Structure 1
Amino acid sequence: METSNSHSSGIMWFFKDKGFDDTSINEMFQKCKRLEGVQREKASENWDYLRSIGIQERKLPSVVRKCPKILTLGLHEKLFPMVNCLETLGSKPQEVASAITKFPHILAHSVEEKLCPLLGFFEALGVTEKQLGKMILINPRIISYSIEHKLSQMVEFLSTLHLAKDGMIGKVLVKHPYIMGYSVDNRLRPTSEFLKSIGLTDMDLQKVLVNYPEVLCRDVNKILKPNLSYLTSRGFGVGQIAAVVTCYPPVLIKSVSNSLEPRIKFLIDVMGRGLDEVVDYPDYFRHSLKRRLQLRQKLLMQKNISCTLSEMLDCNQKKFLFKFGLVQ
């Protein structure tokens, strides 16, 4: 066997026993040179520990392929301290295992050198330890981000969008931790400039970030512009689009074929309403077509009842039935 000739036979038998093929084994050795000196017993000990903290056996090969360095780390020096720290941040037993499965490299970082400075950085933004724990467990890659070169740049950018007051930056990061993974220059700034170009004011943009930060993470050319083109093709004016986006920003990132087109067709062809009614009530796009729009429209038509979109949709089912006398 070619791979066993060039690598330690002990660790090779360990990998073979766990079901890794030669290609995967060679890739792991290329990723982590320290595997050469790892004994089979050491690798087995770390493997068993990862399983003991809740990582499923079937997912362990994927975890190790992503970060073979895990098998070389000291159990008491590295793995125990980081896992224990993560467990104090989590509120559910499986959260830590899930975070490690998503991003195994989190275990290679130091509690003192990485996690503690992160805590201090986010605390200055008004983020509590519990909130930081939630952020890390949702997006564990955060622990690998440089405070100086990435996170500080992110905070500086968000400050230019008038979010520096009342801990708003921290609130945005807590609401959508994945935003920190995007490049300011290649993604966030171009998207914010695009939103301004279609008529959103600085205050409008602030509302978008606070309520729907995920919109800022989408690609302008692949998602936002095609959605804008679709809305224009259906007859929305520039000012109308700005009004709709300001009140319900996800309209620019929802699927045209699966979300926008079916709802607009239903609005016009079935409900007999005009686009101006959506401009007055942009949340129309938020409601489920089958569970909310079609069901309520059917009930209103049976009673020959006319009403605005907001009257029809801006209430729960119980209030809707009571409001229009539809209670049996």
Structure 2
Amino acid sequence: MASGGGDAKSLTQWLREKGFDEETIGRMTRRCKNLPNLDAGEASGVWDYLLNHVKIEQRKLRYVVTKCPKVLTVSVDGKLIPTVQCLTTLQAKPGEVAQAVVKFPPILFHSVEQKLCPLLAFFQTLDISDKQLAKLLMVNPRLISYSIEGKFSQTVDFFVSLGIEKEGMIGKILTKEPYILGYSVDKRLRPTAEFLKSEVGLQGTDLQRVIMNFPGILSRDVNKTLRPNFMFLKSAGFSKDQIMALVAGYPLVLIKSIKRCLEPRVKFLVEEMGRDKGEAVDYPQFFRHGLRKSLEYRHKILKQMNSTCSLSEMLDCNQKKFAMKFGLIATV
């Protein structure tokens, strides 16, 4: 029954040899009630498989076992091997399965037939390929623990209610932002969408475009992040229509740091560049550019040359193209 040469020693002794101290062993024992009854040889077999076949680094494997000691109780032949093989056949890249286990060790506990197969079938209805599903699971392995009816279907129905097509479009959102599936529709996604509609003023295709381009905005807390940014832009003199245009053109304006990004850029635009705030509305990506490396540098060059241009002409190019455009280097 025991394997890996550990049958002559106690589990506690074996854990000590693997680098676990007494306090950690005690915590692991309290967390996993079956651990004290585990044979050291069986634990050694699991450890060796995860170390040598799944290729989890020893330091990270120690973290996995500390975080989830139940891993040591899983049958290698009956559970670990078929689960790992299934994850690997999803076209996961080398090393990704190991990363997924480190992120979410319980991925090893779920039944291939009862969880992975229905999950594959569900995502196929959203035009998500096996390869894309592999990416989703490798990035956010916790997905395997969610209920299809209780979690995934609700999220899909929510996107459909916003006018986003189930086939193709929703799949693109999920592959772009895998963690969005972990958020509650009622507690996070819907309130955020309502804020974007009612307070920011985004409707129809504008709202859909924002969500398609930056789905992560739906996972942000309205009161902690989005509304403070909205109120700052309002206090800075932008009208509601202008804020709506800014968000539609560059959604990240609602999540950028006010102190480190928005405030210094608005101040520089008005006080140093002498431009109207409306120019940022015409080119919302203005808030994407670095203050010192891009804005200050290029403004200084244009000022020295006594040259004027729009924000997009000034910023919508890399440094080399900027230099060529304004004659700083000879064109080839």
Smaller-chain TM-score range?
over 0.9
Verify the 8 A CA contact 2:55 2:98 in the aligned structure 1.
Answer: yes
More helix by share: 1
What do residues 275-321 of structure 1 show as CA deviations (whole Å, max 9, x unaligned)? 11111111111222233222322222221211000111122333322
Match of 1:40 in 2: 40
Verify the 8 A CA contact 1:90 1:96 in the aligned structure 2.
Answer: no
Shift, 1:124, TM fit? 0.5
Following the alignment from structure 2 to structure 1, what is the Cα–Cα distance between the partners of residues 18 and 124? 42
Verify the 8 A CA contact 1:182 1:188 in the aligned structure 2.
Answer: yes
The letter for the 2-side match of 1:254 is: K
Q: Map of 1:1-328 to 2, 5 A cutoff?
A: 10-52=10-52, 53-197=54-198, 198-328=200-330
The letter for the 2-side match of 1:236 is: F
Stretches of structure 2 that go unaligned for 5 or more consecutive residues are 1-8
What do residues 72-102 of structure 1 show as CA deviations (whole Å, max 9, x unaligned)? 1111221112222222335532222111111
- TM-score, scaled to structure 1: 0.92
Shift, 1:178, TM fit? 0.3
- TM-score, scaled to structure 2: 0.91
Verify the 8 A CA contact 1:191 1:216 in the aligned structure 2.
Answer: yes
Shift, 1:158, TM fit? 0.8
SS in 1 for 2:10: helix
Verify the 8 A CA contact 2:107 2:144 in the aligned structure 1.
Answer: yes
Verify the 8 A CA contact 1:200 1:246 in the aligned structure 2.
Answer: yes
Following the alignment from structure 1 to structure 2, what is the Cα–Cα distance between the partners of residues 259 and 60? 39
Verify the 8 A CA contact 1:176 1:214 in the aligned structure 2.
Answer: yes
SS in 2 for 1:33: coil
C-alpha RMSD over aligned residues: 1.7
Shift, 1:176, TM fit? 0.3
Shift, 1:29, TM fit? 2.5
Runs of 4+ in 1 over 6 A off after TM superposition: none
Match of 1:3 in 2: none
Following the alignment from structure 1 to structure 2, what is the Cα–Cα distance between the partners of residues 54 and 297? 51
Verify the 8 A CA contact 2:100 2:141 in the aligned structure 1.
Answer: yes
Shift, 1:34, TM fit? 2.1
Match of 2:5 in 1: none
Verify the 8 A CA contact 1:260 1:285 in the aligned structure 2.
Answer: yes
Count matched residues: 320
Verify the 8 A CA contact 2:92 2:138 in the aligned structure 1.
Answer: no
The letter for the 2-side match of 1:16 is: R
Verify the 8 A CA contact 1:142 1:181 in the aligned structure 2.
Answer: yes
* Range with greater deviation from structure 2 (26-35 or 304-313): 26-35
Following the alignment from structure 1 to structure 2, what is the Cα–Cα distance between the partners of residues 294 and 56? 45
The letter for the 2-side match of 1:149 is: G
Stretches of structure 1 that go unaligned for 5 or more consecutive residues are 1-8
Following the alignment from structure 1 to structure 2, what is the Cα–Cα distance between the partners of residues 304 and 96? 57
* Range with greater deviation from structure 2 (28-37 or 102-111): 28-37
Q: Percent identity?
A: 56
